[in-house]
Amino acid sequence: MATRSALSAALLLVSLAPCLAPVTAVAQSSLGITSGGLVSITVTSSESEGALGAAAGWVDVTITEAHGMQLGSALTDTPAGVLGHLDMHLYMTPRPGHKYGLYGQVSDLDNAHFTLGAVGAEAIFAIGPETAIEGRGGIGIAKRSSAPTSLDFIFVGAALSHDVSDRLGLGFAIEIAEFDETALRAYGYTAMAEAEYRPLGRALSLTAGVGISGLEGRDGRPSEALLQLGMRYTFGARTAGSARRPFRRADPYSPLALRGLF
């Protein structure tokens, strides 16, 4: 599993390099690629599955002075295989430190006929020079070709980020999803407290997090403690507590994916 995770992460980084490399050179442009792209590699350890790897990247594009688009891709290791993700966020920035919009994403399980899609609305607001809050909500559907019906769900998420200093940032994120179908009826949740250390400024970050993943209800499973370690590199500008902060990728299916319940 660890070897597969490392290989998946390496392949993603190679595939993203051509589109992320020019970001630094054009970061000052008023239109086009701004705020840079982020490449991250994380390893999440759970009580039952051990270490599972993930790699992700994004790029932010300014369409007009008040409109932008964020594109992202990710690979996450699961007990059932590697799950690939693509997401797109279209947003408005009515004033500095505020942005909101709509997003959509699709996920596919490697070597299996399983597809997951989600759409929703999201927003980020600065509530201080170094502090930002994020919220989102949406609906989703998961479909396996061998199953007679699809799995529909609704979800909400929120996050708080605060920069204690130029080198240290703290955050908390939570996501809750309701799965209400004949085949599966449960509430899934993931909560994570996070720390980010930037030894060389805002470009390079070392991250760590502790949290819990749960699945409650008729088809629930025991909750699991999570430990997450990662590293990421941001290209271009990254201003804390501002509209340049990237949107998080929604991950309401995580409690099921962690347990291999596809």
- pLDDT for position 132: 92
Instruction: Determine the distance from the C-alpha atom of residue 205 to the mean position of all C-alpha atoms in its chain, rounded to a whole number.
Output: 16
Residues of the chain with pLDDT under 70: 1-39, 48, 146-148, 202, 236-244, 262
Rounded to 5°, angle at Cα 111 from 179 and 9: 90
Q: How far apart are CA 136 and CA 247, in angstroms?
A: 10
What CATH topology corresponds to 2-258? Answer: Porin (2.40.160)
Show me where the domains of the chain are located: 2-258
Could you read off the pLDDT of 196-246 as tens digits, one per residue? 998 877 678 899 999 999 999 888 888 889 999 998 887 765 444 444 678
- pLDDT for position 120: 97
- pLDDT for position 33: 62
Q: How far apart are CA 80 and CA 215, in angstroms?
A: 18
Q: How far apart are CA 166 and CA 164, in angstroms?
A: 7
- pLDDT for position 239: 46
- pLDDT for position 106: 95
> Is-contact 204 195, C-beta < 8 A?
no
Q: How far apart are CA 206 and CA 165, in angstroms?
A: 15
- pLDDT for position 94: 86
Closest by alpha carbon to 244, among 233, 257, 254, 235? 235
